[in-house]
Amino acid sequence: MRQLPPLNALRVFEVAARTGSYAAAASELGLTHGAVSRHVATLEAWLGQKLFRKDGRRMVATPIAAMFADEVAHAFDRVARAAEACGRPATRRILRVSAPTSFAMRWLIPRLDRFHGAYPQTEVVISTVSTVLEDLRGGFDVAIRRGTARGEAWPHYRVAPVLEDVDTLIMSPALFEQRPIRQPADIEGHALLASETRPGDWIDWLDAAGLSHRAGQPRQTFDHFFITRQAVEDGLGIGIGPLPMLAIDIAAGRLMTPLPEIRVRRTGYVALVPDHAGKTSVLGSFVDWLASEGENAMPRMMPSPPAA
């Protein structure tokens, strides 16, 4: 008979080593911090050596434990692929996706019906992070982040480009009717709405528009872009918005782009899949679907403002 270590403890150990944190492992597995510690201690007793060392407030895998965890992850991947191949076709699969809040709300979630239509047995569970630079921690199958698609920028992840991103001026159609903006100078007197999570948006757009930085023009800054977007929709001022992420709001008539030809190109979004994740058909199909949706989004994103 095979002399296998306790499999439940092995599973907990792999997650703790991968996430680099007992707390993150506990969150991913739905356990307490103490339960994670006990499972690791059980495996250490079986192996006869320590697997983690204390580094400040964190427990870090020893070099040999890190190599062992990598082999365990590959073994789990093989088991998962075999289970998928042998599983019942009707078995429901869960895909965990981590994405920035605005990206999830304004771009990903409104499109998910199309993915579910093609893959009805896959449930996409989305968790959001407050900024696009949020650490890649916790349990997920795919993470969406802003960044380059170059592999060296994301060690330990497989990277696929998802969506290009440009900024342009946005305002509500009602405010346009009251005080139209048909050329850059027409922003005079409008309140400039900005976001702490998107610093420099106005400076870059004003540079692209050939305007001074308008230090004396009234401004209001909110802590997150989705609040700024709502304030723009409510007609409280004008803002700088990312496209094509706001395409659904523009198509629905909630927002408009009065000067769509003035654009500031931004770093786009990429999909990140951990190297240890198995290359399942569902995971590959979801990443391919994201890329396809991103390609189709750009051409139709900028309707012109109403004629004078």
Beta 142-146 vs 264-274: how paired, if at all? antiparallel
**Helices within 48-188 (DSSP H only):** 63-86, 101-103, 112-118, 173-178
Cα 263–264–265 angle (5° rounding)?
A: 115
* Residue 11 included in any domain: yes
The per-residue pLDDT of the chain, averaged, comes to 86
- Answer yes or no: do 160 and 116 share one domain: yes
Q: Could you tell me the residue range of the domain that residue 220 belongs to? A: 166-265
Interatomic CA distance for residues 193 and 197, integer angstroms: 12
pTM: 0.63
**Token pair in block for residue 272:** 């990140």
Phi-psi region for residue 67, left (φ > 0), alpha (ψ -120 to 50) or beta? alpha
- Answer yes or no: do 283 and 219 share one domain: no
* Residue 1 included in any domain: no
Picking from 283, 136, 302, 128, the residue whose alpha carbon sits closest to that of residue 147 is 136
Q: What is the CATH number of the domain that holds 219?
A: 3.40.190.10
- Answer yes or no: do 104 and 246 share one domain: no
Interatomic CA distance for residues 188 and 221, integer angstroms: 18
* Residue 304 included in any domain: no
Q: How many domains are there within the chain?
A: 3
Contacts of 223 (CB under 8 A, 6+ apart): 195, 196, 197
**Token pair in block for residue 151:** 């592999």
Q: What is the pLDDT at residue 131?
A: 59
Interatomic CA distance for residues 303 and 259, integer angstroms: 10
**Token pair in block for residue 211:** 């305007």
- Answer yes or no: do 111 and 196 share one domain: no
List the chain residues with pLDDT less than 70. 1-2, 84-85, 87-92, 131-138, 151, 214-216, 278-279, 298-308
Q: What is the pLDDT at residue 29?
A: 87
Q: What is the pLDDT at residue 307?
A: 45
